[in-house]
Structure 1
């Protein structure tokens, strides 16, 4: 899930005229629904009420936006605002305004608390949540009905369902995308589902932020995946380490997948192909997983060009209930504010009701450790290596131990 706003330099044609430059990620999947349309409409409404401020928005694909902002900052031309995937490196380098220097008390208090907390570096919030999503288990209702099975609530039931689906000829009984595109997400969801309510654990780190990738729970989780799913031929013809999330989603939309972890954008993708699907909370080792994985994309404001007051006024407008809801509804994502979340939860509109299962997971969701400047390096290592943990002859313990060593070294270097 991602998007970037680029608000770069400040041009002035008079003492009160300011141009804010925003770089934003594109959440659309075609020119017809590009995020550029959302920002053009929002900026037009804002500028109509603020004659002294112009906002120039540049929208880039998620493949390019983070790198584009990095290039701009390195060249000494930071945007005023960027909405991208990570903020911690810029915060640690002293390049960002704290959120409290920008936002009204009302706006800052409206953010969902766990998202605001995730936006903190060194106990100060620099990352401003922009869009969120959670994961649930999607299942193909048609394939389940033909197989005479019901959605699972435990790992044992999931494996049993997958076995029946395999016997019925389903190509991917349960898709396990551990390929390099987004393996860090699939990995974290399984880590969370393997951590019981009585044993704690929160994915990649413990409660105080120390990496625990090679914990006994995580080793047990990947051993189960290797032995009980992959080893029994229940994950399809493509090795998990080579199966990317986009390909798994496309296969689900083509009716070839029985079950997989998915985020809200899969709804529209499946509906376009006419797939009858349902969603349930992610199964856990002995019952429903205690937490779902959450993902948040971030807005941040760079100090280089000044204009904190103008930037803050614009952001207060961006985060109004109406604008947050409009964006969330346009792109099938979850609101990051309490007011917009309540409005969506109370809505009976079909499009909003489709997001309710994901919204229900948000309050207890666990996010990536994005406040750690080491996270980018750790995520890259997970993407490249985690598939080996479930490969034939692979060792979950050895792979997770290597990843833990990488994380510990990256953390030490970052500090």
Structure 2
């Protein structure tokens, strides 16, 4: 089932079962796995964003039931949150209705420094050495670990082999080649490339990385450097050439534009690969975002989700026990989560080594490329630091203002946000 279909069917199911926090609809909550009559003394509320892959909600509910079976004194209810998960989570964390356990995309230090998440060093124990260095660094603030990475979500370029071959176009390895290919593949009926409905998506950050830059390094914002300005400014070419698909029915994270032959090239995620394989067979390839120019750096974007414990919750010890049980001890469930509902890379070396579905074909190629070219956003990169950058990039590609000045102004705002987060 495609991510689009899974999302639509799930939303239909959620229609009559909504929670509200500060007047905002939250989502569907399962019945707790265990209750007072069965011996449970504590009920944990565990929040998840609405994954697009079919079976994910049922899997999390099944994991919760297995935890309660092993720990009869702790019941678990899973709250499934569609829509703008981050906004709803942030609003909830300011109230007494905040979840005991929640997942967070691209964990940021600010969560720890504001005292919103509990340190989990003790829960890692000897398993700490089995997590990749990058995933440990991601959840570290002031030397302590404040979350457990659940999955690595890898993002890259998909392309139709047959379409590029028919047009005599080699898979692009530089930005100039990508722009030329996108223009050449654009026809009266279709566009050459899809990076997001707004025509921007993650491309500004990818541009900075691909020209050897960083968004933030050692607490200093770096996206206004001359190389960064050069690369972000170049994105305007894709818009000037009118080679980008805009306003599609689903966004870049869903593979429908590619599999429905609306575009021959799309930025998307590893999670979509099973659906793409089902639709296209072997008529697709994958690429990093190309180096800005020869000698530059190709980019595979690595994100993912982290399980956190609400430090201000009423059930901190039970919440820590749940996170430790599921995301540290249960390697079989971690493997199931990574390869049974779309593809994701397990954050643990030992689990990744046993993930058979990721050991062959395009999935294996993606794993190799991620190890070689993977870039995570810094853990000081949040909405306060990222929004000025995105807004400046949107103006640049639209030809509104001087790129260097726009990025310099955005960098000042972002630096203030980073400083505040680190203070």
Classify the TM-score, shorter chain: 0.7 to 0.9
Q: Is 1:157 the counterpart of 2:177 in the alignment?
A: yes
Q: Equivalent residue of 2:157, what SS?
A: strand
- Count of aligned residue pairs for this structure pair: 388
Shift in CA distance, 413/59, structure 1 to aligned 2, threshold 3 Å: same
- Bigger CA drift: 249-258 or 40-49? 249-258
Question: CA offsets per residue over residues 153-175 of structure 1, 9 Å max, x none?
Answer: 22333234334324x66722233
Contact 2:193 2:245 in 1 (8 A): no
CA distance in 2, matches of 1:287, 1:225: 19
Q: Equivalent residue of 1:174, what SS?
A: coil
Structure 1 unpaired stretches of 5+ = 196-200
CA distance in 2, matches of 1:304, 1:247: 33
Q: Equivalent residue of 1:368, what SS?
A: coil
CA distance in 1, matches of 2:234, 2:90: 39
Partner of 1:361: 369
Partner of 1:42: 63
Shift in CA distance, 379/178, structure 1 to aligned 2, threshold 3 Å: farther
How far the C-alpha of 1:93 sits from its partner, in A, is 1.7
Partner of 1:310: 318
TM-score (norm 1): 0.81
Shift in CA distance, 268/186, structure 1 to aligned 2, threshold 3 Å: farther
Residue 222 (structure 2) aligned to one of 195, 212, 218: 212
Q: Is 1:252 the counterpart of 2:276 in the alignment?
A: no
How far the C-alpha of 1:352 sits from its partner, in A, is 6.2
Shift in CA distance, 123/5, structure 1 to aligned 2, threshold 3 Å: farther
Structure 2 unpaired stretches of 5+ = 4-26
Q: Equivalent residue of 2:412, what SS?
A: helix
Question: CA offsets per residue over residues 91-147 of structure 1, 9 Å max, x none?
Answer: 11223211214x141333322210110112233221321222222221111211210
How far the C-alpha of 1:210 sits from its partner, in A, is 1.1
TM-score (norm 2): 0.79
Question: CA offsets per residue over residues 49-76 of structure 1, 9 Å max, x none?
Answer: 2222212211112x24333333333222
How far the C-alpha of 1:219 sits from its partner, in A, is 0.7
Residue 349 (structure 2) aligned to one of 314, 338, 354: 338
Partner of 1:177: 196
Partner of 1:265: 271
Shift in CA distance, 409/350, structure 1 to aligned 2, threshold 3 Å: closer
CA distance in 2, matches of 1:396, 1:177: 21
How far the C-alpha of 1:389 sits from its partner, in A, is 1.0
Partner of 1:222: 232
CA distance in 2, matches of 1:139, 1:187: 20
Please tell me the root mean square deviation across aligned C-alpha atoms, in Å: 3.5
CA distance in 1, matches of 2:234, 2:244: 16
How far the C-alpha of 1:237 sits from its partner, in A, is 6.1
Partner of 2:18: none
Contact 2:185 2:264 in 1 (8 A): yes
Q: Equivalent residue of 2:257, what SS?
A: helix
Q: Is 1:21 the counterpart of 2:45 in the alignment?
A: yes
